[in-house]
Chains A and B, each alone.
Chain A
Amino acid sequence: GENVEQHPSTLSVQEGDSAVIKCTYSDSASNYFPWYKQELGKRPQLIIDIRSNVGEKKDQRIAVTLNKTAKHFSLHITETQPEDSAVYFCAASRGNQFYFGTGTSLTVIP
């Protein structure tokens, strides 16, 4: 089956700086890659996703890049704000089942 690895497990940045979270996957047939944000005590919420036929997607301060050859994808958050502090999960899918990474705890220091 698919194996998704996510790094780093924790990340601290100063407010206003950028944050990058990286994931790798093992199944070359995976074709859909969503990212979820989970605030403390709340449910994971989809923040951005990318399909395998696209190399990059941007939505305001967040962007995701995908390198199919290398089988890795990354989440980029620019101009970080304290409200960006949360756990972020990546996932890979080629059908109905998502395979999640282990999560990155992001802390934005005011």
Chain B
Amino acid sequence: DAGVIQSPRHEVTEMGQEVTLRCKPISGHNSLFWYRQTMMRGLELLIYFNNNVPIDDSGMPEDRFSAKMPNASFSTLKIQPSEPRDSAVYFCASRPGSKGDYGYTFGSGTRLTVV
């Protein structure tokens, strides 16, 4: 099991550019989560999916952020246009089932820097 796979590991982009982050959850995990981590705000849940369906996107900062999960093995988080305040580490995590006592498995994260 390769775990949760995120790409790219690092992304540096200029303000105003579109950024797309990618995630492949663990096979068989039905729930997928996108988190943002900063020193100031800690781990913030942006959005999560159950069986490819978005369940709660209340954490998405604004309309510049969007997320999709077209199938059980792939999800994207897009920022358009990007701003310097979006600089953070973005983690994807997956979990088996929609209920139950299972912890998240996090990916290695994407460190985004917007200049």
Contacts and interface: CB of A to CB of B under 8 A. Distances in A.
B7 interface: no
A97 B46 CA distance: 11
Interface of B: 31, 42-43, 45, 48, 50, 55-56, 91, 95, 98-99, 101, 103-109
A42 interface: yes
A46 B4 CA distance: 14
Interface residues of A, number: 20
17 contacts: A32-B101, A34-B104, A36-B106, A43-B108, A44-B43, A51-B101, A89-B43, A95-B98, A96-B55, A96-B95, A96-B98, A96-B99, A97-B45, A98-B45, A101-B42, A102-B42, A103-B43
Interface of A: 31-32, 34, 36, 42-46, 49, 51, 89, 95-98, 100-103
